[in-house]
């Protein structure tokens, strides 16, 4: 995951410790995460961590779709593939 996170930082300018990024992620009462093009979590807020009963650090690197119930993950993947292209 370090490689992917480093790449994302280089192309987007995102830094997980930046005040702006943390402010956007930590909107009260709202699950929020940054994911890469493969739906892997790059960063997440504390509300999301609580919702999934996991430490925020444990969420980073996980595939978001794998955290969802199977039927919901299937629909989200279909949406993702339709609008972002299926990945081999």
Taking only the tens place, the pLDDT of each residue in 22-70 is 777 877 888 899 888 889 999 999 899 999 999 999 999 999 999 999 9
Kindly report the CATH number assigned to the domain that includes residue 67. 3.30.450.20
Please compute the mean of the pLDDT values over residues 4-21 and round it to a whole number. Answer: 57
Domain count, the chain: 1
pTM (two decimals) = 0.69
Please name which of 68, 69, 14 lies closest in space to residue 36, comparing C-alpha atoms. Answer: 14
Domain around 47: 2-84
Sequential DSSP letters for 14-71:
--TT-HHHHHHHT-TT---EEE-TT-BEEEE-HHHHHHTTS-HHHHTTSBGGGGS-HH
Name which residue leads in pLDDT, 39 or 4: 39
Instruction: Say whether pLDDT at 74 is over 60.
Output: yes
């Amino acid at each position: 995951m370090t490689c992917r996170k480093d790449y994302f930082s280089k192309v987007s300018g995102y830094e997980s410790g930046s005040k702006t990024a943390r402010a956007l992620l930590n909107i009260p009462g709202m699950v929020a995460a940054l994911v890469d093009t493969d739906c892997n979590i790059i960063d997440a807020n504390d509300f999301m961590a609580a919702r999934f009963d996991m430490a925020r650090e444990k969420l980073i690197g996980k595939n978001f779709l794998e955290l969802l119930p199977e039927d919901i993950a299937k629909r989200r993947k279909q949406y993702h593939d339709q609008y972002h292209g299926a990945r081999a």
